[in-house]
């Protein structure tokens, strides 16, 4: 894996620190070559977060999980308008497909899955739509030793909670996501969810959260973020699907988009990473970083707040 953006900016030659031997050579009139002291390699004058001064620009190497965690760290404290910080992680083909044959796995790679795991390892809660849970066969998040110390220092649970968004609560509560979580699964629903389904969810040990009071029964995207923040989940990660991500974007609560672009063309009529009503005005984001491995681009965009 190599970093394409941001890259360290080499310091001007005249501002590079000189070694004592070089300083002595200047005073004696000798040239640096005559002192047999090697000139230091230039490093960044201002190294961006997540890049070590020793890293060669564009160097292709395997990144440790800790390096990836530093590169994708949440701002502290999370500073979205809601008091939480909502990050999305999605993958897309070159021609804009969010999945192939109904699942995103065909568009993924080993590097994509490493970053997927890192993003989960940093989050308080992972927010996902019910259809994506069903299609992708979601299981509980697991605790990983690589993130244990970091999570403990931030007061996080050993693994992120999975928060499933479903207006109808049409979910199979006998699945491992609900019966075997390390951290209790959360279900987020609206005002018209059936009492029987609510009781089934609670009987399975899930925490039921209401986000939206309108007669339509729809779950309000902005209320999801607020409700999770009130539970202490301020570092949020959504993995879609496209309908839920579109709702977050339309509600103005999407703070960051981590988009993996796969070097694949699928054609067909698959959804884009967002699938919903058009925004009144396009939301502006700025590029924060780009990593590359085996032709996959791992981009990170942060929202520009007006």
- Residue 191: predicted pLDDT: 87
State how far the Cα of 75 lies from the Cα of 64, in Å rounded to an integer.
21
In a domain, 283, yes or no: yes
- Token pair listed for 149: 């110390």
- Residue 25: predicted pLDDT: 45
In a domain, 286, yes or no: yes
In a domain, 41, yes or no: no
State how far the Cα of 203 lies from the Cα of 36, in Å rounded to an integer.
76
- Residue 114: predicted pLDDT: 97
**pLDDT < 50 stretches in the chain:** 14-16, 18-55
Say if CB 252 and CB 280 are below 8 A apart.
no
Q: pLDDT tens for residues 249-263?
A: 999 999 999 999 999
In a domain, 23, yes or no: no
Phi then psi for 73, rounded to 5 degrees? -60, 140
Q: pLDDT tens for residues 39-52?
A: 333 333 334 444 44
Long-range pairs of 263-268 with CB within 8 A, sequence gap ≥ 24: 263/94, 263/294, 263/295, 263/296, 264/93, 264/94, 264/100, 264/107, 265/93, 265/94, 265/95, 266/93, 266/95, 266/97, 266/100, 266/107, 267/95, 268/97, 268/100
In a domain, 70, yes or no: no
Using a 10 angstrom Cβ sphere, with 0-12 exposed, 13-18 middle and 19 or more buried, the burial of residue 101 is exposed
- Residue 58: predicted pLDDT: 67
- Residue 266: predicted pLDDT: 92
Beta strands in 36-180 (DSSP E): 85-92, 125-129, 161-165
Residue numbers of the domain that contains 89: 3-7+80-150+160-267+278-303
Phi then psi for 208, rounded to 5 degrees? -95, 125
In a domain, 44, yes or no: no
The number of domains in the chain is: 1
State how far the Cα of 105 lies from the Cα of 103, in Å rounded to an integer.
6
pTM: predicted TM-score of the whole model, two decimal places: 0.83
Give the β-pairing of 85-92 and 235-238: parallel
- Token pair listed for 261: 């672009």
In a domain, 59, yes or no: no
- Could you tell me the CATH number of the domain that includes residue 125? 3.40.430.10
The Cβ-side half-sphere exposure at 284, using a 13 Å CA radius, reads 3
Terminal CA-to-CA distance of the chain, rounded, Å?
34
Distance of CA 74 to the CA centre of its chain: 9
Say if CB 187 and CB 164 are below 8 A apart.
yes
Say if CB 245 and CB 259 are below 8 A apart.
no
- Residue 80: predicted pLDDT: 66
In a domain, 117, yes or no: yes
């Amino acid at each position: 894996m190599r970093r394409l953006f941001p890259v360290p900016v080499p310091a001007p030659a005249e501002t590079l620190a000189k070694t004592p031997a070089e300083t002595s050579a200047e005073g004696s009139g000798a040239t640096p070559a005559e002192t047999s002291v090697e000139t230091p390699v230039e490093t960044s004058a201002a190294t961006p977060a997540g890049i070590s001064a020793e890293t060669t620009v564009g160097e292709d190497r395997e990144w440790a999980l800790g390096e990836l965690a530093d590169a994708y760290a949440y701002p502290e404290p999370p500073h979205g308008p809601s008091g939480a910080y909502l990050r999305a992680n999605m993958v897309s083909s070159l021609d804009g497909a969010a999945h192939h044959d109904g699942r995103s796995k065909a568009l993924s790679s080993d590097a994509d899955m490493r970053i997927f795991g890192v993003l989960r390892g940093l989050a308080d809660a992972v927010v996902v739509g019910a259809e994506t849970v069903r299609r992708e066969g979601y299981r509980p998040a697991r605790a990983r030793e690589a993130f244990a110390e970091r999570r403990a220092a931030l007061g996080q649970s050993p693994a992120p909670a999975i928060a499933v968004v479903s207006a109808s609560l049409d979910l199979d509560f006998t699945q491992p996501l609900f019966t075997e979580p390390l951290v209790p699964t959360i279900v987020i629903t609206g005002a018209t969810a059936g009492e029987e389904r609510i009781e089934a969810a609670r009987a399975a040990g899930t925490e039921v959260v209401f986000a939206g009071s309108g007669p339509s029964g729809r779950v309000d995207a902005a209320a999801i973020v607020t409700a999770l923040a009130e539970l202490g989940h301020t570092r949020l990660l959504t993995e879609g699907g496209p309908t839920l991500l579109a709702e977050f974007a339309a509600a103005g609560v999407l703070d960051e988009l981590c988009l993996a672009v796969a070097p694949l063309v699928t054609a067909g009529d698959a959804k884009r990473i967002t699938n919903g009503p058009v925004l009144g005005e396009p939301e502006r984001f700025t590029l924060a970083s780009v990593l590359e491995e085996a032709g996959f681009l791992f981009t990170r965009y942060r929202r520009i707040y007006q």
